Amino acid sequence: MGDFWVFGYGSLIWRPGFAHVETRRAHLHGYRRSLCVYSFVHRGTRQRPGLVLGLDHGGSCVGLAFRVPGELRDEVIAYLRERELVTSVYLERTLRVRLEGGGTVEAVAYIVDRKHEQYAGALDAAHAAAVVRGAVGQSGNNEDYVLSTLKHLEALGIRDHWLEDVARGIAPS
């Protein structure tokens, strides 16, 4: 099989964790980046959930597309499934993304399952910040996750006004 693409919109941007031979800025229509997933493992616990990003229906999202050599398909897909499907809150899909500079590709992406108990829905920024503040899971504290994602988006010139509002609500004054 030939090379394939993976779409990253959150922590995959700053910590993909898999081998790839090309990275391109990409635009996904029909889904938006949102802190819409209660985290019971990586950034919170069942007793004190945090929030992590998901691709939720509606709008659009600018992220990164990673081109992975075809011979690494099984290894990379296994890694992504172990990382993203730990509680089955995400659904693995192949979605069409538009690459910056031209062209479209099919990319593996993980969208939120709106029927899952961890789906938080569309929260306002103040509520999201309140959930994030103080939450800690196996991968660290929730504030670091949000602030690191925002820092990396800003470095790429990607604006996410809602996530910026959340960050203002969690950052020390």
Q: How far apart are CA 42 and CA 51, in angstroms?
A: 9
Helices (H), the chain: 11-14, 73-84, 125-132, 142-155, 161-170
Q: How far apart are CA 9 and CA 32, in angstroms?
A: 9
Q: Which amino acid is at 112?
A: V
What's 120's DSSP letter? -
Q: How far apart are CA 9 and CA 116, in angstroms?
A: 20
Q: Which amino acid is at 110?
A: Y
Residues with active-site annotation: 84
Q: How far apart are CA 77 and CA 18, in angstroms?
A: 9
